[in-house]
Amino acid sequence: MRPRDNPFRVERLEALDFRPQGMDWATLEHRLMRLNLRAAIIGPEGSGKTTLLRQLGDRLEGWGYRTRWVQVGRDRRPPPGSLRAAMEGLDERDVVLFDGAGHLPPPRWWAVRWRCRRAGGLIVTGHRGRPLPVLIRTRTDPVLLAALIRSLLSQAHDADSGLAGMTAMEVDGVASALWHRHRGDLRAALRSLYDRCAGRRAEQKR
């Protein structure tokens, strides 16, 4: 299978919408405004934190705010001075979206908060609490994973994707097995389906 035909390619995974569990978008937005746009999105790896942060950024820009995106990871440390440069000249029209703030050591985190004091908002993601009110705790389950798999398969132009034609019960079974294997990490589970689709197509061509 050509990579561009795989229903689980990276572009499709990144285009998936966040699906709030336990609240709807209206409730989420209302809570964010009540927190004065200063909040944390907390959850385990692969539970949709980055996806939610991106979509909140789109909505904030629709409300007239400017967004500043900053991202760090376990293996991705920002170059010296880059955080300061990303947060210069902030005012009440700016909202800083900080993906991976939980990876910063406390001194650098407090420096970020101080530099964002004049910004209109600061929304961060992390695996555990930071000294910001929690907007939402993201979580996953096999039902959510199954829904995402169905959504990706339904958008596939190539019907012979390796998973096409599966019954609803079969999709549920695949989702449950992958969810447990990857310990709830939806990103890892969906990436494994990319290889599965590519592998099945390779076998069919032999």
**25-73 pLDDT tens trace:** 999 999 999 999 999 999 999 999 999 999 999 999 999 999 999 988 7
The span from the CA of 37 to the CA of 64, in Å, is: 13
**79-88 pLDDT tens trace:** 667 778 888 9
**149-203 pLDDT tens trace:** 998 888 665 444 556 566 778 899 999 999 999 999 999 999 999 888 876 544 4
pLDDT of 56 reads 96
Under 8 Å between Cβ of 128 and 102: yes
The span from the CA of 162 to the CA of 126, in Å, is: 35
pLDDT of 51 reads 94
Phi, psi values for residue 169, rounded to 5°: -65, -35
pLDDT of 157 reads 53
Which tops the pLDDT comparison, 134 or 201? 134
pLDDT of 115 reads 92
**97-122 pLDDT tens trace:** 999 988 888 888 898 999 999 999 99
Cα angle value 127/131/132 (rounded, 5°): 85
pLDDT of 205 reads 45
Tell whether the model's pLDDT for residue 128 goes beyond 90: no
pTM of the shown model: 0.85
The span from the CA of 196 to the CA of 191, in Å, is: 9
